[in-house]
Structure 1
Amino acid sequence: MLTRVALDARRQRDNGVARVTRLLAVALSQVSVELVLFGPGEVLRKQFPCAEVVEYGAPLLSDEDLYGLDTFLQSLQIDCLIAPQFYNSPWTECPQVRILHDTFPLETGTELTDMRNVESTFGHARVRRVVTALLDSATIPAGEEAARLYKAYYDLSVEKASALLTVSDESFRSIVHHYPGAADKLEMLPLFPDPAIVSASLRAPRDKSLDAIHVSKFEPRKNQLTLLRAWTHCWERDRSFRACIVGSPSTLYPEYTAEVLHLIGAGRSGGWLEHHQGIDDQSLAELYGSAKIACVASTAEGFGLPALEGMANGCIVVALPGTSVDEVCGDFVIHASNSPESIAGTLADLLSKPGEMDQLSQASRTRAAAARFTVAATAKALDGAIRRASTDRRG
């Protein structure tokens, strides 16, 4: 009898978790399990018409999910849950394979949202019930509630998981640093570029209409403000410069988002910047395929999926040093310091060397097609984690 595995697929749009969730569903279709996807039924049935899909609408950050997910899974006779983030309910009777992309909420100096924005996004009463369930709020200093809530979810995720997966060596080291006892159940989960957003043919950089592209939800750690200021410098130096940003506002960071949208508006008014959000796979593939450089200016990344997607489409990756993007790109990442002037200078230097760009573009695409970035590698890691989780339950 096949193991009945459920994937929490509620996140389907606008951020990296949603993209990774889809990759997990694709990879799990190659594993010998009975797969159930739960989340927004109509959306999931369009993406995976052959899969068993069950509607499940409990908000991710809610007492309905904390207390209700286990009952829901039991009604479906699920043997193992794949939980693709730290905020999926940790309280399930069936064993969990938990995927932790990074530990950025736990790091010193991280710019986190405050509880007012969390409550505005998920509902005041609902969030207060979650806080009551997970925290002793009476002992929390003012301004620390959001950080404590993140940590409570992480602590439970690590404690309750039968198997843990993470997506980069950097994230692996960070998780073990914060949770030394997790080392024995933590393994690597390689990711791959979604075939749906990889252009079939590779155009030379000189034949591409966009000088630069950036793909990510608007969050402080994604560093869009610095990047947009750098792009503005590029355009002021060379009025032929053209760029595209693909991303959506985050209700968790309204002030930051407002600043990003202001700079986007200025770029669009100048005629040099495109902005897209909520676009389909074909459109995203066309934008990647039209861009010479993929800019990943993040100050912290669990993996850096846009870097891999860009490379798969022949983009040259420009990123800040010291993040997991270095693991993804290997020797083919171009580093810039975290300032508009440095990023602008790096882009201008690259764009002035068409011959070098041709070589880097081809090398980037070859790197993205390497054996470590394949559906088969992801499926193998998931299969191993499911087996470990199932053994843990039997034990």
Structure 2
Amino acid sequence: MTPGRPPRVLVDATSVPADRGGVGRYVDGLLGALGVLGPERVDLVVIAQRSDAERYRRMLPEAQVIPGPAAIVHRPARLAWEQTGLPLLAQQVGAEVLHSPFYTCPLRTGSPVTVTVHDATFFTEPEHYDNTKRTFFRSAIKTSLRRAGRVIVPSKATRDELIRLLDADPTRIDVAYHGVDQAAFHMPTEEEKARVRARLGLGDSGYVAFLGAKEPRKNVPNLIRGWARAVVDWPHPPALVIAGGQGHDDDIDRAVADVPSHLRLLRPGYLRYADLPGFLGGALVACYPSFGEGFGLPILEAMACGAPVLTTPRLSLPEVGGDAVAYTTEAPERIAEDLADLLQDEQRRQILAKAGFDRAKEFTWASSAEVHVTTWKRVAA
């Protein structure tokens, strides 16, 4: 890299899913912030799925955006292309750094590689993954730690676990906290809250909110059991709304089957992006009793929407929530106790909502982008 000239970086955005889950939020937030920094700070090239190419062109008018081959919409084809087509593309565009934002990276490239490793729960919480997924991501993380010039992680907890469990080199790991899009996740108006309640058929009823993937690590079955135990004897019990992708946790259906018939549990699936502030900010409590997270973007987004949050103190979650959220354990008995206490204490909910909203402002994609650019400069040099 010529001194004084920004590094030419190829960002592989082909792993972004259509549903805009966690990795989609990360890549979109990061690229948006890099676009604001402009070509004076980073000479950006983005390779994306064809369905995302126009989106990124609008977001990054000064960057080169390249649509990927049609076949890579399928994961096996994308992983194969990552090993062959991606290094060739990096060479063609003259990339000085190739950034892979989702665990995996090419084994051989003509330019140095940086990789984002989002969490270490495949090692710390192995029982919450099926064997195929656990084996794949464990191998990918080990390979990335070995092959990448530097690794970016979203929390100190993730960095510390990689060092503790895999003897990773701490001098080659950079912590870049995720941010939150304050325009997309904001304190909702009463009209926005009412619109979501109407769409969910809740009327004026209060509800507890969960938003996220329904995989075992998220602990949704125990959330259902804890909520049911907390409100079963209330004259006007709040509903539980579990929104997000369908996931693969069979225990959820078993927990649902045990919910008393007079309680109301809704599973609306994906909500419109525009409805998320009203959904999260309109909840009595946003509850996220995860077994562990690499960052915990859902609780940050709930905080940004002014929701009082109840979560667990596992791994990175206290880094995000700090003193601005309430904590419980993963057990349904404790979830029931702590959720009931919070639901019955309106003053505490208001204090947490204000504290969480203020704390969420500290997490910006601009700060994350600055760390990424610093990492790329170090690698390119």
TM beyond 0.5: yes
> In terms of mean alpha carbon deviation, does 50-59 or 311-320 score higher?
50-59
Q: Which residue of 2 aligns with 1:214?
A: 210
- 1:21 partnered with 2:27: yes
Q: Which residue of 1 aligns with 2:154?
A: 167
Determine the C-alpha separation between the residues in 1 that align with 2:266 and 2:260: 6
- 1:332 partnered with 2:337: no
CA contact (8 A) 1:96 1:161 kept: yes
Secondary structure of 2:208's partner?
strand
Determine the C-alpha separation between the residues in 1 that align with 2:187 and 2:380: 39
Determine the C-alpha separation between the residues in 1 that align with 2:122 and 2:168: 19
Determine the C-alpha separation between the residues in 2 that align with 1:197 and 1:382: 22
Unaligned 5+ residue runs, structure 1? 119-145
The number of residue pairs the alignment matches comes to 352
- 1:77–1:210 distance in 2 versus 1, CA, 3 Å: farther
Q: Which residue of 2 aligns with 1:308?
A: 300
Q: Which residue of 1 aligns with 2:237?
A: 240
Q: Which residue of 2 aligns with 1:368?
A: 360
Determine the C-alpha separation between the residues in 2 that align with 1:20 and 1:246: 20
Query: TM-score of the superposition, structure 2-length normalised?
Result: 0.83
Q: CA deviation at 1:368?
A: 1.0
Q: CA deviation at 1:273?
A: 2.9
CA contact (8 A) 1:96 1:162 kept: yes
Deviation string, structure 1 residues 320-346 (Cα, Å, up to 9, x no partner): 223311111111221212222211221
- 1:358 partnered with 2:361: no
- 1:154 partnered with 2:159: no
Determine the C-alpha separation between the residues in 2 that align with 1:269 and 1:4: 59
- 1:266–1:74 distance in 2 versus 1, CA, 3 Å: farther
Q: Which residue of 2 aligns with 1:229?
A: 225
Q: In structure 2, which of residues 6, 31, 36 is the aligned counterpart of residue 30 of structure 1?
A: 36
CA contact (8 A) 2:8 2:94 kept: yes
Secondary structure of 1:11's partner?
coil
The residue identity in structure 2 corresponding to 1:364 is G
Determine the C-alpha separation between the residues in 1 that align with 2:137 and 2:298: 25
- 1:273–1:194 distance in 2 versus 1, CA, 3 Å: farther
CA contact (8 A) 1:209 1:290 kept: no
Q: CA deviation at 1:384?
A: 0.4
- 1:356–1:312 distance in 2 versus 1, CA, 3 Å: same
Determine the C-alpha separation between the residues in 2 that align with 1:229 and 1:23: 34
- 1:46–1:304 distance in 2 versus 1, CA, 3 Å: same
Determine the C-alpha separation between the residues in 2 that align with 1:290 and 1:331: 21
Q: CA deviation at 1:314?
A: 1.1
CA contact (8 A) 2:228 2:263 kept: no
Q: CA deviation at 1:179?
A: 3.9
Determine the C-alpha separation between the residues in 2 that align with 1:189 and 1:367: 17
Determine the C-alpha separation between the residues in 2 that align with 1:38 and 1:279: 28
- 1:72 partnered with 2:89: yes
Q: CA deviation at 1:264?
A: 5.5
The residue identity in structure 2 corresponding to 1:379 is A
Q: CA deviation at 1:240?
A: 2.9
Secondary structure of 1:49's partner?
helix
Cα-Cα RMSD: 2.8
- 1:390 partnered with 2:380: yes
CA contact (8 A) 2:214 2:244 kept: yes
- 1:247–1:14 distance in 2 versus 1, CA, 3 Å: farther
CA contact (8 A) 1:243 1:272 kept: yes
Determine the C-alpha separation between the residues in 2 that align with 1:222 and 1:65: 29
Deviation string, structure 1 residues 334-363 (Cα, Å, up to 9, x no partner): 121222221122111111111222122111
Spell out the pairing of 1:126-141 with structure 2 (5 A cutoff): none
CA contact (8 A) 2:228 2:260 kept: no
Deviation string, structure 1 residues 36-72 (Cα, Å, up to 9, x no partner): 3322222342365143432225244533332332123
> In terms of mean alpha carbon deviation, does 241-250 or 161-170 score higher?
241-250
Q: Which residue of 1 aligns with 2:197?
A: none
Q: Which residue of 1 aligns with 2:265?
A: 273
Q: CA deviation at 1:311?
A: 0.8
CA contact (8 A) 1:163 1:185 kept: yes
The residue identity in structure 1 corresponding to 2:344 is S
Secondary structure of 2:245's partner?
coil
Secondary structure of 1:23's partner?
helix
CA contact (8 A) 2:97 2:113 kept: yes
Identity %: 24
CA contact (8 A) 2:105 2:113 kept: no
Secondary structure of 2:151's partner?
strand
- 1:268–1:374 distance in 2 versus 1, CA, 3 Å: farther
> In terms of mean alpha carbon deviation, does 337-346 or 297-306 score higher?
337-346
Q: Which residue of 2 aligns with 1:137?
A: none
Unaligned 5+ residue runs, structure 2? 195-203
Determine the C-alpha separation between the residues in 1 that align with 2:277 and 2:265: 18
